[in-house]
Amino acid sequence: MGNRMPPPQLAVVQEFLNSRAVAHGDDDFATVERMRAWLARHRLAAPHTEFGEDDRRQLVEVRDALASLVAANGTGGVPRRPVTVLNEAARRVRLGVRLHPDEGYRLISEGVGVDRPVGDLLVRVMSAMAGGSWSRLKVCANAECGRAFFDSSRNHSARWCSMAVCGNRMKGRAYRRRRASDGVGSHETLAVAS
């Protein structure tokens, strides 16, 4: 199926979305301290940047809105509420343009506090949208997993973060459901025939 790694501008966005592990119930943003450590580890904020509970809630709201947008990839229907949340976040952050002699231009986040990492994430999302890779960021169809993954398939049809794990589980469940429903039907037929 090819390389499952997202392009650089999406790698941090994917990790941001996966900062909450649905399967394990763990959340890297459960506390301000854990959020600060995650942002520092991903170079979105300096290690000793001061954040508060409102900042944490804002970052979680942005993550949830981005997750809804990713879940809508390929469905054609983008939910209104997440778009509103992201538009509000974009209004709060200060995005600037920097010209470069070789690279042309690039957007940068100039915000302070939590607005800086939010701005950086939104710049990455916009770059991915402009570059055409955004639609390949998806959410695993296994509801027990829910991880964001990069669909590297030729026809953009991947449904699971891992065919070996989630794909096999989901296909196995579907197979067992079909077998169970086939078994129920054949037992009823035998009972009627005797």
| Mean per-residue pLDDT of the chain | 81
- Of 134-138, 143-147, 164-168, the poorest mean pLDDT is in 164-168
> What pLDDT, on a 0 to 100 scale, did the predictor assign at position 172?
56
Contact 135, 72 (CB under 8 A): no
- Predicted confidence band at 97 (pLDDT cuts at 50, 70, 90)? confident
Three-state DSSP class for residue 97: strand
Identify the CATH number of the domain defined by range 8-156. 1.10.3300.10
Contact 63, 70 (CB under 8 A): no
Q: What is the pTM of this model?
A: 0.78
Rounded to an integer, the average pLDDT of 25-45 is: 94
Rounded to an integer, the average pLDDT of 10-16 is: 94
192, pLDDT greater than 50:
no
Q: What ranges do the domains of the chain cover?
A: 8-156, 162-194
- Percentage of residues in the chain having pLDDT higher than 90: 40
146-164 core/surface letters (b: 16 or more CB in 10 A; e: else): bbbbbbeeeeeebbbbbee
Cα–Cα nearest to 139, from 130, 131, 148: 148
- Of 31-35, 144-148, 150-154, 182-186, the poorest mean pLDDT is in 182-186
Tens digits of residue pLDDT in 40-94: 999 999 988 999 999 999 999 999 999 999 988 867 778 899 999 999 999 999 8
